Structure 1
Amino acid sequence: MKKIGILEIVVILSILITSVSLAYKFYSNNGNDYEFDGNQMYKCAWVCEKILNKNFPLNATIIGKWTLSKKPFNGEVKIYDAKGGTLYAIYNGTPITIGGELAYQEDIAAKKIILHPIGKSIIFYELNPIEGKSFRDIANEIENTTKNFNGLNIVDVIVEGSMGVDSKTYTPVERQKIMNNLDVDIKKGLGLYFVDYGIIINGKIHLNTLKNLDNYINSSNISTSKLTIYVVVNNSIDEIPNKIKENYAIITLG
């Protein structure tokens, strides 16, 4: 077996210390912004993954340049995924990729990234299957359950599960138009499966998006699976009443 040299031990210890330090910073910030230079993309992506995996929406301020035109970029984006040293985001309704200062394959070469997690806590719970004639019917049933949290600052509601939608058999052109309208949500992981006489929808969808699906899909009947509802609130755990904490599961950012 090959012996580990002093230099290799120093490198390993350096990586471990950096990881522990970053983890401490992430878990102790509890809702504050996180700032990274363009040469810290792997650290930035790691933090993005931790935030997104908890189902917190994540915005970011990106300062850098477009890799093709070299024109300056300074704007707000919505991050929906992070892998390796690349961030995947939505800017002005269009998916873009963000890399470090020396990036050439991504759309943006970032000099600075400031992450803005949305909300401080998430209250989540399950709902039994719901039936309705329209997506608005389904959304209204879900929204009624969030009235239990009146008094809290609700900033987003995310719905996870599947829906069977009775509609019609869509032509290829009609399918593409629906997918174009939901392109951002599909990029975020929403699944659309076109079948005879309707559609099966699977994954996570924002409540506001769910309300608007009637604009793209003419349904006659909808039935959902058991749903998981994530209510994102801009309240710390200490600001949430004990009655809610005793009856619901809660995720905190920190």
Structure 2
Amino acid sequence: MADVITVLNNKGGVGKTTTCISTGAYLVALGKRVLIVDADPQANATSGIGFDPHTISAHLYHGLVNGRHPDDLIRPTQLLQLHLLPSGPDLAGATVELVPKEDREYRLRNILRHVRRRYDYILIDPPPTLDILTVNALTAADRIIIPVQCEYYALEGLAKLLSTIDLVNANLKTKIKLMGALLTMYDRTSRLHRAVAKEVRRKFPGYVFDAVIPRNVSLAEAPSFGKTILQYDPYSHGAKAYRKLAQEIVGLDKA
């Protein structure tokens, strides 16, 4: 039975999609079966794995709104054991079309029930907004990873996201847990970054991954080639950091 993990942040540009794709790739490298769910209408995870969102005829929208079975939507990728439930431009319309639907907050969870036994991990990449798509990504999740950019307002943003998770648990009868905060875009030469990292670890002891994702050119370049960092530059500092993160995740499950 898959562990369903949503990579959550309501701020763009913090490494959310990169974390979803790269972690998925390295979990596969560790012998795990992985499904990535692109729940963002921007479809960056879809294009970052090598698909053109504009040419995909059936994607997550058709599952959420039209009830299509996930077997009609899930696609294999260039990496064996890494599958994708893609997004497309139509998904933006789901935020309106889902409003009158029954169980609108649980549609994604119901879709994934059909395939959970096939995978070890399901990673969900929601939009950087708190809309019905993000709510679906939360109610479908067992645990949450929060990428935290090392900047001045990082602690405030992290606290708000944790409040959002508590709100969803209280009102939608879920039991979502925080797996960990992940420090991203870290520059060890920056005094601010070092200070923020130290403060995050102090405020949330036991809930911050040891792995720290550095600012890295290869991580920024890989999506434009439709490749994961494992395929594009496996010896880069960014790749090594995500390998460490994947090892931590597997280690947490064994603990």
- For normalisation by structure 1, the TM-score amounts to 0.24
Bigger relative contact order, structure 1 or 2 (CA pairs below 8 A, ≥6 apart): 2
Q: As a proportion of its length, which structure holds more helix?
A: 2
Q: Which has the higher strand share?
A: 1
